[in-house]
Amino acid sequence: MSIPFVDLKTQYEALKTQINARIQTVLEHGKYIMGPEVKELEDRLSIYSGAKHCITVASGTEALLISLMALEIKPGDEVITTPFTFVATVEVIVLLGAKPVFVDIDPDTCNIDAALIAAKITKRTRAIVPVSLYGQPADMEEINRIASQHGNIPVIEDAAQSFGAKYQNRKSCNLSTIACTSFFPSKPLGCYGDGGAIFTDDDEIAQTCREIRVHGQSKRYIHTRVGVGGRMDTLQCAVVLAKLDRFDWEVERRIEIGQRYNDLFDRAGIDRVKQRPDRSSVFAQYTIRVPQREKVQTYLNNVDIPSAVHYPVPLNEQPAYRHLCCSDCTPISMQQSQQVISLPMSADLAETDQFRIVRELQAALQA
């Protein structure tokens, strides 16, 4: 039987009663936009993360866009980020007319290399956007320190993949000025469509994000700023609320499964993305590194093991963004993009399936 890359079916079976009941409640009260589940979810996520404010939005991309808009990022501004991420991180910077400044990654974790950030700060730097890639928080303490040394540059954690992860004793989404997460179905905490959230301790930023989310509206039909249509549907909030019932258990399983993969690959001498001891990853992706990746993917495909590449092309090499950076400024990202391969990962992944995946991988590498 083939192993799902992300097993949403088993999760739904386990939570069917709660999810169906939550959806039914929304269908009955009929408040599809900004219904009571929106506030309920925001309160729950704020408590869960430890951040004072949570603002749900239409997607992770929208969370990033609204956050940058709240910081008044405009043409001519520079935003420091990583090229080794999903396109949304950089897309929103460019949409606002600002310039992404790419900093290379640490080859162990594939997160932004904090030691390279200070050299890229100029008087036009308006924000730093580290990505907590594959579910592991970036070096947030060091990044915050650099940001505060350079005149309190705001730090936005792109936590689209890391909701539920921990950094020292704090949760991802509560590690910097602002954090953005995504509830895209395959993320560690997913809904059944698009959704996302913004987190901050700053009252003013929170209020600004709330206004931008509804067309810059401060009162009904009074538009005090330019905004977007960026709300998260009540139905999607209801789905996330139901999924929260099992989320702690899922985070524990993900860590356990990730660690088992680590042990198996280390024993097999297969190179993998590393985790730092002062933080936990929720393994949004479980990612290893192989030579001749295409050959390995074909082999796995033939034995019904799905795999994916996060990400095959660094963003500063993409046609739409290439002109924004010299091509050889991030050699580690370039090298990683040619080797990384992500394997099936979900809280419900069976141990026997994991053994099979590792066995087939060894066979693929020897083939």
Ligand X SMILES: *Cc1c(COP(=O)(O)O)cnc(C)c1O
Kindly list the residues in this chain that would bind ligand X in the complex (CB under 6 A): 59-61, 85-86, 88-89, 131, 158, 160-161, 182, 184, 194, 196
Shortest separation between residue 222's beta carbon and ligand X, angstroms: 29
Per DSSP, helices labelled H in the chain are 8-29, 36-49, 60-70, 88-95, 140-149, 203-213, 234-244, 247-268, 293-302, 331-339, 351-366
Residue 183 CB coordination number (10 Å): 29
Q: Degrees (nearest 5) of the Cα angle 144, 148, 154?
A: 70
CB-nearer residue toward ligand X: 159 or 206:
159
Shortest separation between residue 311's beta carbon and ligand X, angstroms: 9
Shortest separation between residue 284's beta carbon and ligand X, angstroms: 7
CB-nearer residue toward ligand X: 254 or 364:
254
Helix axes 293-302, 351-366, angle to 10 degrees: 130
CB-nearer residue toward ligand X: 59 or 208:
59
The answer to whether 316 and 300 have CB atoms below 8 angstroms apart is no
Shortest separation between residue 59's beta carbon and ligand X, angstroms: 4
**Minimal CB distance residue for ligand X:** 60
CB-nearer residue toward ligand X: 231 or 354:
231
Shortest separation between residue 234's beta carbon and ligand X, angstroms: 17
The DSSP bridge partners found for residue 178 are 156, 200
In this structure, what token pair is assigned to residue 367?
A: 């083939």
CB-nearer residue toward ligand X: 14 or 95:
95
Q: What is the DSSP secondary structure assignment for residue 307, as one 8-state letter?
A: -
Q: Compute the residue count for the chain.
A: 367
